[in-house]
Amino acid sequence: MSITAERIKKLRKQKQLTQQGLADIIESSRDTIANYENDRNKSTLAMLTLIADALDTTVEYLQGKTDSPLKTPHNSSDDGDDKKHVDLADDELIMSFEGKELSEDYKQAIIAMLKTMREGKQ
């Protein structure tokens, strides 16, 4: 069994979630979670991100790139770099590239692509 499969299962159980419970949180199916945990399917980066958020960990931990399951704490500072977590279910997605705000059309195109990707995983 891969480290990713093992860690998803371990953290899910630590959070006292059933496979269906985790599937509900990430808007997927129980079979999808079972297939990830049993190494029958490999998850995409987008799906790993959703699972990591649901299990309150990082993608890097799930992939075995780090041994710490903890997310890096957010330190507030006055450097003007105020970033917030964005849920893919949000109607509004705030994005920037190298400090420049993206155009509204570009934001809407990205949102449409993300929604299409999410719908394809259900």
**Arithmetic mean of pLDDT, 99-108:** 68
pLDDT score for 8 = 95
When comparing pLDDT for 109 and 45, which is higher? 45
When comparing pLDDT for 104 and 93, which is higher? 104
Instruction: With H, G, I as helix, E, B as strand and everything else as coil, classify residue 89.
Output: coil
Quickly list H helices, 2-58: 3-14, 19-25, 30-37, 45-54
Q: 9-13, 18-22, 53-57, 105-109: which has the minimum mean pLDDT?
A: 105-109
Which value, to the nearest 10 degrees, does the dihedral of the CA atoms of residues 34, 40, 45, 46 take?
-40
Distance CA 31, CA 41 (A): 10
Domains of the chain with bracketed CATH: 3-62 (1.10.260.40), 84-122 (no CATH)
**Arithmetic mean of pLDDT, 103-108:** 73
pLDDT score for 73 = 52
CA max distance for the chain: 46
CA 73 vs CA 4, 56, 58: distances in Å: 23, 12, 12
Percentage helix, strand, coil for the chain under 3-state DSSP, each rounded to 5: 50, 5, 50
CA 70 vs CA 5, 7, 112: distances in Å: 18, 13, 31
| Integer-rounded Cα radius of gyration of the chain | 16
Per residue in 15-69, pLDDT (tens digit) is 999 999 999 999 999 999 999 999 998 888 889 999 999 999 999 999 999 888 8
Looking at the whole model, is its pTM more than 0.85? no
Per residue in 54-84, pLDDT (tens digit) is 999 999 999 999 888 887 654 444 444 444 4
